[in-house]
Structure 1
């Protein structure tokens, strides 16, 4: 089997990885996004009442981070764990 990166994949994989971006007007750090392995991850402020911050990636989530920065610091490990879990789901 020969595996190649598609045109769309090339675009997302050639874009800067693990560089966080948010809205310039977002002074409350509500949401930031970055690409991990060419796929978007979100670091978001949780709903009112839940508290803290969370990560969203490929249909998985991690919650309970006290700050946006701590969520972003945990993001590489979270991405690795998600990708490993997904690989384990394939038989």
Structure 2
């Protein structure tokens, strides 16, 4: 059998802007999102599995502030994308 990986969102935390006087074109002037994912690895033929681990991701509005490049969240869970869309508008 093959090992399968399942990823799910355990929780998300929204943090306010670090600097209320900062421009909204900077990360310091925008809210940030922390996402905790649970990744589970399983193989029905292996008695030692499943095993789970946590992965934490911090998402900022801009991946490159100077160029004004928005963070690419297309690879994130649909719920995470929805929350980012709501907090970064």
Fold agreement, TM-score > 0.5: no
Structure 1 length as normaliser, TM-score? 0.33
Structure 2 length as normaliser, TM-score? 0.33
Instruction: Point out the structure with max Rg over C-alpha.
Output: 2
Is the strand fraction higher in 1 or 2?
A: 2
> Relative contact order (alpha carbons < 8 A, sep ≥ 6): 1 or 2 greater?
2
Is the helix fraction higher in 1 or 2?
A: 1
